[in-house]
Structure 1
Amino acid sequence: MALHNRVSRKELKERILKDTTPRTTLSFYHYFKIDEPVSYRNQLYKALSVIGVLGRIYIANEGINAQISVPAGNFEQLKQALYAHQLPEDLRLNIAVDDDGKSFYVLDIKVREKIVADGINDPGFDMSKKGKYVNAQEFNSLTELSDTIVIDMRNHYEYEVGHFEKAIEVPSDTFRDQLPMAVDMMQEHIDKNIIMYCTGGIRCEKASAYLLHKGFKNVYHLEGGIINYVNQVKEKGIKNKFHGKNFVFDQRLGERVTDEVIARCHQCGKPADTHVNCANDACHLLFIQCEECRKQYDGCCSVNCQEFIHLPEEEQKERRKGIDLGRNVFNKSRSRLRNLIK
C-alpha cells in the first residue's frame, strides 16, 4: 500500500463533510525512545490507514504526538494498533470536549526532529525529570493556595479565547520562545508552587522538566491538559475553573467549554471568540472574527484581502506565487501583521 495520501486535499475534505459515519476526535502523546523513527512511522501509517484514522501525527526519537479522528466503531481497533506499536495500555487518550467528527480529513504522519519544537540544545536536559502530575481536583486545590502560580504554556491566540482563573500568559507565538520567557518571568516566584498547563499536556510536561532543569523546585503540570481537565470536571462534578473556549489545532479551531465569550472581534471589537483563517489564500491570517464582520468582509481580515478574493482566479494565482505565509497569526503587539479595518 502507499505510505502517503495520493488524493487531493480538497476532494478529501469534501468526502469527510459528506460522510455521515460517526467519528471520535482524540489526542495523545508519549515521550519514549524511538530508535528508527522512519520505520516506526511507516508501520504506524499502514496500521492506522486500514481502520480509517485521519489526523496529524509527529514521530521523533523522543516519542509521538498525535491529534486524530477515528470511526467510532473502530475505537477498540485503534487502541490495539497503538499498543502493538510500543505504546502502553495506560496511554491517556484525550477525547475531544466538543466534537462534530469533522476535525480532520487526511492522515499525515511526519518524522520530525522533536515532537514539540522547543529550541533546547542543552545536552544536560533530561525529559524524564519532569514536574509532578496533578489531576483536576488537585489542580483546583493547589490554585486556591496563595503561594501557587498558574502558567499558561500555550500561544497568545489560544490564551485569548479561554484560560484558567488567575493564569499568567507567556506572550509568544511559539513554545520555543516561551520556555526561556517563562524562566525569566518566574524568577521572583522560584520558591512558590508553579503549575503549568496546555491543551493536552505535551507542552506543559516538557516545560515542567525545563523549569526543574533551570533550578525550580515545586513544579507541577496538569495531567492531560485542558481536555482531560474538562472531561474530569464533567465526570466527577468538580468545580470548573476554565473560562471560555479551548483552542484546538484542527478544522474546528476551538472547543466550547463554557458559554462565556472572553475575547473580542479583531475587526470591530465586539465580544467574539471564533477563530477563522482569512478567506484570501495569499494571506490565510488566523484571527478572531464576529458573524457581522464575516458577512461584511466576506470572511477576510481586511479590505485589501476582500478586494483580492474578487479578482479573477488566474490573477489571484499569479499574485500568490512565491508568497511564504509562515506562521501567520494576528498579534496586536506586532505591527507587521495586517492593516485590519480602521
Structure 2
Amino acid sequence: MHLYNKLSAKERAQLIEQAGEERLTLSFYKYHKIGNPELFRNHLFIAWDAMEALGRIYVAHEGINAQMSVPAKRFTEFKEHLDGINFLENVRLNIAREQDNKSFLKLKVKVRHKIVADGLEDETFDVTNKGVHVNASTFNELIEDDNTVLVDMRNHYESEIGHFKNAVTPDVDTFRDSLDIIEEDLKNHKEDKKLVMYCTGGIRCEKASAYFKHKGFKNVFQLEGGIIEYARQVEAEKLDNKFKGKNFVFDHRRGERISDDVISNCHQCGNPCDEHVNCANEACHLLFIQCEECAKANQNCCSTECAEINALPYEEQKKLRSGKGNSNKIFKKGRSEKLAFKK
C-alpha cells in the first residue's frame, strides 16, 4: 500500500474533470499532543487517499492543520472518520464560501516540527492555554470598544487585500515575525487593554493568544473560526460586516470575497485590484497582485525579464534553472523590486 501521492497535478485535474462530481473545499485544525506524528500521518493518508480526498495537511507533536478538498458525496464518510479520532470528534470544519473543484490537486500529508512555525523553543509555553474564543456578534461589539486593540495575525500580503476596519496589520512576512513586534508595541497595555486577534481560520491567533497570555497579557480574545467562520455567521445571522475586501486563502483560489470593497492595487500599474497570481516564469513564481490588463501586457509575468524567459522553449527554461536554487524573493511575497506599486 502506497503512502504518498503518485499522480501529478495535471493528471489529477483531468480525473476530476472526467468525474464531473462536486467537491467541497474545507479546512480544520486542532492543537493536541500527538505522541507519534509519523504513525498518525500514515493512518490519515491511507484513509483519506481511499476517499479521494486531496489537500495540504501538516501533522506535528502539537497537533494537526489541514486544508482539503473532499468529494461532496463522501463528506459524511470523511466526517465520520474524523469523529472516530478522539481529539478530532466534532472538530469545527470551515467550509469555503467559494467552491472550486480544483482547489487542491494532490494529497500531501507531511510531518512537521510544528503545525504553525513560530520560532519559539520555550518549553514553559503551553499552546493549549488559549485566549477567549468569541463569535462574530461578540467580536463586532469588542472591536467597537475604545479599550480594544484589534490585531491581524496574518502576513502583509494577506491583510493587503482585506482586513477588519481599525485593525493593526503588522508589515511582516511570517507569523513568527509578528509575535515580538506586537508584544513590544503593546507592552504597556498588558493589563488595561483588550487584545483581540483574528486570522484566516483561527489556527494562528489561537497560538498567538496562548503566547500573549504566557507573556502576561490579561485580556486576550480571538475570533472563533477566523475570517472564514465570521463571514458565514455574518451572512447567516444578518450581522454588520466589519471586514473589507477579500480573505486570502492557501489553495488555488487564493482568495474569497467577503465584501465588494477593493482595498489594494495592482503591483504593476497601481490601479485598484485584489487578484493574486503567481509569475508564469517557473524560475520566479513570485506571488503578487496583477490586473487583467497587466497580465495581458506582461504575459502573466511579474516583469519584462520574466516574460522573456517564459517565452523561451521549455527545455531552454529548464537549462536556465538547472543548478540554481529558488530566489529568496519567492518567499517574500509581493516584495520584488521589479514591482513598481508593491505595498
Query: What TM-score do the two structures reach when normalised by structure 1?
Result: 0.95
Match of 1:234 in 2: 235
Corresponding position of 2:339: 340
- Residue segments in structure 2 that go unaligned for 5+ positions in a row: none
The answer to whether the 8 Å contact 2:54/2:108 transfers is: yes
- Are 1:196 and 2:197 counterparts? yes
Could you tell me which residue of structure 2 aligns to residue 50 of structure 1? 50
> 1:293 maps to what in 2?
294
TM-superposed CA distance for 1:105, in Å, is 0.9
Q: Kindly tell me: are residues 142 and 341 of structure 1, through their superposed partners in 2, closer, same or farther at Cα, counting changes over 3 Å?
A: closer
2:166 is the counterpart of 1:166 = yes
Amino acid at match of 1:324: N
**2:49 matched to 1:37?**
no
Cα gap change, 1:26 to 1:134, in 2 (>3 Å): same
Where does residue 22 of structure 1 map in the other structure? 22
| Partner residue in 2 for 1:315 | 316
Counting only pairs closer than 5 Å after superposition, residues 102-181 of structure 1 correspond to structure 2 as 102-181=102-181
3-state secondary structure, aligned to 2:85: coil
Structure 1 unmatched ranges of 5 or more: none
| 1:225 aligned residue | 226
- 1:302–1:341 contact (8 Å) kept in structure 2: no
1:191-230 per-residue CA deviation (whole Å, 9 max, x = no partner) reads 2001000000000000011111111110101110000110
- Determine helix, strand or coil for the equivalent of 2:68: strand
8 A contact 2:7–2:106 mirrored in 1 = no
Mapped partners of 1:19, 1:251: distance in 2: 19
Which of 165-174 and 17-26 deviates more?
A: 17-26
**2:40, 2:8 → 1: CA distance?**
25
* 2:68 is equivalent to residue 68 of structure 1: yes
Q: CA deviation at 1:9?
A: 2.7
2:208 equivalent in structure 1: 207
> Which residue matches 2:186?
186
Aligned residue identity for 1:25 = T
Cα offset, 1:327, TM superposition = 6.4
CA deviations 1:119-173 (Å, max 9, x no partner) are 1111111112111001000100111110001100001000000001111011111
Which SS does the other structure have where 1:249 is aligned?
Answer: coil
Distance 1:295 1:123 in 2: 52
Is the Cα contact below 8 Å between 1:17 and 1:102 reproduced in 2?
A: no
The structural deviation recorded for 1:187 is: 1.8
Residue aligning to 2:276: 275
- Tell whether the 8 Å contact from 2:173 to 2:332 is kept in structure 1 after alignment: no
Question: Once the two structures are superposed, what CA deviation does each residue of 1:256-309 show, in whole Å capped at 9, x if it has no partner?
Answer: 111111100000000000000000001000000000000110100000001111
Local SS of the residue matching 1:298: coil
Whole-Å separation in 2 of the counterparts to 1:294 and 1:4? 35
TM-score (norm 2): 0.95
Q: Which moved more, 1:90-99 or 1:192-201?
A: 90-99
The answer to whether the Cα contact below 8 Å between 2:161 and 2:248 also exists between their aligned partners in 1 is yes
Q: 1:245–1:257: 8 Å Cα contact kept in structure 2? A: yes
Q: How big is the shift at 1:85?
A: 2.6
Identity rate of aligned residues, in percent?
54
Give SS of 1:246's match: strand
What do you get for the CA RMSD once the two structures are aligned? Answer: 1.6
Q: How is 1:56-95 mapped onto 2 (pairs within 5 angstroms)?
A: 56-95=56-95
CA contact (8 A) 2:83 2:90 kept: no
Q: Check the 8 A contact 1:44/1:85 in 2, yes or no.
A: no
CA distance in 2, matches of 1:85, 1:184: 40
AA matched with 2:209: S
